[in-house]
Amino acid sequence: ELGAGLTEMGLLGDLMKSPDVPAAEKQQYLSQLTDTARLLVTSLDEIVWAVNPSYDSVASLASYYILFAQRFLDLANVACRPQIPPDFPEYPLEPKGRHGLFLAFKEALNNVVRHSAATEVRLKIEVVGRELIILVADNGHGFDSAAATAGGEGLRGMRRRLENLGGSSDIRSRPGAGTEVDLRLPLGKPET
């Protein structure tokens, strides 16, 4: 993703330098260049977070997810209502699991913004037994989760990601009643 974005930025820069490109098009390319740079900064931040060993606990995951959700949803004028316990048990998380779970979490938020017309998202993060549970619940228009159209590529991708990590994803929705996405990841032994 970073490589493709940098390549795109290079091509846009070349187009902006070309004397054959009209000024109006150059302005459009400049806007695209700025947007691509912002996306790359966000992607780099996500990668650094995913591989940094100082963030390998459930507590740091919860803090990062809440901060990310608040920023992401704020841009779409959707209120974020986080619910987390005062503290989490000390379970370690491997970078691969953190990153895969984050991609599924990000897809759930993206679906809220793109498809739900929600004004509010309730974000609940907790550990029950030896399982990390993340609930993303919106107050949007919902959909018929039993219908074939409910199995879009994003929803299948979330399920696959979690299954590859030994976890699960459950999507519950009804027309007019919002949508709940439940992401679950098994945890290893707690640190002592």
- Residue 148 pLDDT greater than 50, yes or no: no
Residues 85 and 6: their CA atoms lie apart, in Å, by 40
Most confident stretch, 88-97, 131-140, 142-151: 131-140
Task: Say which amino acid occupies 50.
Answer: A
Please tell me the predicted confidence (pLDDT) of residue 51: 62
For residues 105 and 37, the model is more confident at 105
Range 56-64 average pLDDT: 84
Sheet holding 179-186, edge to edge: 79-83, 120-128, 131-138, 179-186, 168-173
Range 86-103 average pLDDT: 85
- Residue 17 pLDDT greater than 80, yes or no: yes
Banded model confidence at residue 150, pLDDT cuts 50, 70, 90: very low
User: CB under 8 Å to 115, separation ≥6 — which residues?
Assistant: 140, 143
Stretch among 7-21, 73-87, 142-156 having the lowest mean pLDDT: 142-156
- Beta bridge partners, 132, equal 127, 185
Measured in whole angstroms, the distance separating CA 129 from the mean position of its chain's CA atoms is: 24
For residues 124 and 189, the model is more confident at 124
